[in-house]
Every structure is written in C-alpha cells, then in structure tokens.
Amino acid sequence: MAPRPYYSERGDRIDSTAPVTVSRYRGFTRANHWLTALCLIVLALSGLALFDPSLYFLTGLFGGGQTTRWLHPIVGVVLFLSFMLLFVKLWRLNMPKPEDTTWVTRIGDVVKGNEDALPELGKYNPGQKFVFWAMTGLIVLLIVTGVLIWQQVVGHLVSVPVRRVAVLLHAISAVLILLVFILHVYAAVWTRGTLRAMTRGTVTGGWAWRHHRKWLREIASRDNKGPAE
C-alpha cells in the first residue's frame, strides 16, 4: 500500500517536462475557490452598505436596500458552505509542519525574496496556512453571529443583549476577514506566478522549485498520473 502523501495531494502531478509544468488545482477546486472569493466580495460590499448610512449608496449595486437586506445573509450561508468544501479538502495540508517555524523566524528573507535562506516547504507556506485558518475561524464566527442577528430566522429566540453582542462580534469579524482577504490577494499578486495556479490550474516547474520544493520533490518521486486535486 502506497504511503499517504505528506506534502501534496494524491492528484498533484508533473504534467510535462519540456518545459516542466505542474498541476496544482483541478477545475472543481478552482471553481470552489472563486465562488468563495465572489461571496466574500458581495458580502463586503453589501455589509458595508448596511453598516453605515454614509455607505448606503452601495445598495444600488444589488437593486436597493430591501434586496441587499435579504441577499446579504443568504450569500453568507453560501459562503459558509463553499468554504467548508475547501476546508474538508485542504485542512490536512494546512496543518503546521516542522519547517514552518524556521520560515517564520526568517520572515525578513521572505520579504526580500531570498529563497535560498528559507527552508524547503510543502504545498503551502506558513503565510498561506495563516490565511486558511484565519478564514476558517472568522467565517465560523460570522455565520454564528449572523444567524443570531437574522431576525427573520431566529425572531424572538434571541434576547436583545445577546443580539447586541452578536452585532458587535459580527462587525469586528467582518473587518478582520476583509483585512485577511486583502492580504491574501496582495500575496497572490506579489508572488509572481501564483495566480496562474487558480486560473489555469498549473504552475511552472521553476515556480514550484522556488517556493514549494518539498511538494515538488514528493510528487516527482511517485508514479501518479491521476487528475490534480
């Protein structure tokens, strides 16, 4: 029985060798990722519109205030379900690894792009893992507090004091997840070649070797011709 992959998913594979192209995400995972991102954007805009009267003009993007009011919580539920699919698929590879501590202590080399001073990594680096777990915790907190203040659903089952606390936590969580989302987008753009993984599903061999060498070594060492996850 073949050992379970440690740094990669079973479907990750080297597509070609001239030039080297490596499959990183299959179509379902990419669609799931973009659905989650779209939900976050819609929730950010609609949430801001409901947060302060000065931003109420944003409701025009969704057809007015009434539409925004019922759309926001529904999209929130879609976000939760969409992200949970990603969580089930990716949580194992986002668990801490021994080399992560060394990577974090050398964050200066990360910023400078001095890859030779950094340890070899699996499919995700500590920064990506932080985004993953931050998103997980904040989305869970948002869905819980969101339901508590969803009067059409819970009605009088929730007391006013509890609802007030839920509103505060919901707003704080929304601001934090927006910051994490901006960080995620910035890092994807800043690290050249990263966006290709979520648009085409593949990365170049040079990119994989530079940023995720243990992941590349593992998939290169096994004979696996299945579809990338």
DSSP string over 198-209 = HHTSEEEHHHHH
Looking at this protein, which amino acid is placed at residue 10?
Answer: R
φ, ψ for residue 43 (rounded to 5)?
-65, -35
Asked whether the beta carbons of 56 and 49 are under 8 A apart, the reply is yes
Catalytic pick among 33, 72, 170, 184: 184
Looking at this protein, which amino acid is placed at residue 1?
Answer: M
Residue holding tokens 């290169």? 220
Known catalytic membership, residue 184: yes
Q: What's the rounded Cα separation, in Å, for the pair 217 and 90?
A: 19
C-alpha distances (whole Å) from 202 to each of 15, 25, 30, 227 are: 8, 7, 11, 12
Q: What DSSP element (H or E) covers 202? A: strand 202-204
Q: What's the rounded Cα separation, in Å, for the pair 26 and 201?
A: 6
Give the catalytic positions in this structure: 184
